Amino acid sequence: MQQHNVVSRNEWLAARKLHLAREKELTHLRDAISAERRALPWMKIEKTYVFESPAGPKSLVDLFGDKSQLIVNHFMLAPGWKEGCVGCSFGADHVEGALVHLAQRDVAYVAVSRAPLSEIEAYKQRMGWHFDWVSSFGSDFNYDFHVSFTPEQLASHNAEYNYQMIDPGIEELPGYSVFAKNETGEVFHTYSAFARGGEALLGTYALLDMTPKGRGELLNGNLTDWVKRHDEYAATGNAGACCHS
């Protein structure tokens, strides 16, 4: 652990107040950026997407249920993978308690993966999650939202992700997309965030950031230094890499 000065209460209080001023700056900036995000223009979804759910095929508008807003978690689980991405699983662990509160604010939440529904259901059961999770297997949805990559893109080391061209290095990467539905059932894409753009959703990080040791991610500089699927912490070894910084 980093060495720290040990001071009197008055000295501690003076230092804390200086830092509090910086925290307030960040809070006000976050409020302003959130307002800008809500004011972004919308893009109408013209394409038809069909997802497989435990209740049968569903369209994108069906995923809203009776809500007018929808958050989609682009969960990294490709066909044939034995388990989901470590980072996506870490994020999913933070969702369950929020679902009832999101519903009160007219928001539906669903995870979408390219894996067939049977593979999704098996991993979901293993993890003990209850949020809605559908399969986009056979659909262009993941590719159109730049979180899945074709063999050609992987071979060329060139694909769009997080609003720039990169070498994805893997067939799936994480992200979140937000949609709105109007009274006539038209659907609009309002926002997407990728890579560290989803970090604010990780309550564990918010708690760790308050502690003296912080995140302790000194090797790779991200969650692959320590995070495991929640049923794997008794095992040894490093978490698998899956997310770009």
Per-residue confidence (pLDDT) for residue 177, from 0 to 100: 98
Which two structure tokens, joined as six digits, stand for 245?
């910084």
pTM of the shown model: 0.92
Which two structure tokens, joined as six digits, stand for 178?
């937000």
Per-residue confidence (pLDDT) for residue 49, from 0 to 100: 98
pLDDT per residue as tens digits for the range 3-23: 889 999 999 999 999 999 999
| Residue type at position 128 | G
Other CB atoms within a 10 A radius of the CB of residue 238 amount to 13
Which two structure tokens, joined as six digits, stand for 10?
């008055």
Per-residue confidence (pLDDT) for residue 47, from 0 to 100: 97
What whole-number distance in Å separates Cα of residue 142 and Cα of residue 163? 15
CB distance 60 to 186 below 8 Å: no
What whole-number distance in Å separates Cα of residue 57 and Cα of residue 134? 9
Domain boundaries, the chain: 7-39, 43-197
What whole-number distance in Å separates Cα of residue 45 and Cα of residue 110? 17
What whole-number distance in Å separates Cα of residue 189 and Cα of residue 127? 30
Q: Report the CATH superfamily, name and number, of domain 43-197.
A: Glutaredoxin (3.40.30.10)
Label residue 81 exposed, middle or buried (CB < 10 Å: 0-12, 13-18, 19+): middle
pLDDT tens per residue across all 245 residues of the chain: 678 899 999 999 999 999 999 999 999 999 999 999 999 999 999 999 999 999 999 999 999 999 999 999 999 999 999 999 999 999 999 999 999 999 999 999 999 999 999 999 999 999 999 999 999 999 999 999 999 999 999 999 999 999 999 999 999 999 999 999 999 999 999 999 999 999 999 999 999 999 999 999 999 999 999 999 999 998 655 444 454 44
For 7, residues 6+ apart whose C-beta sits below 8 A from its C-beta are: 15
Kind of pairing, strands 187-194 and 43-44? antiparallel
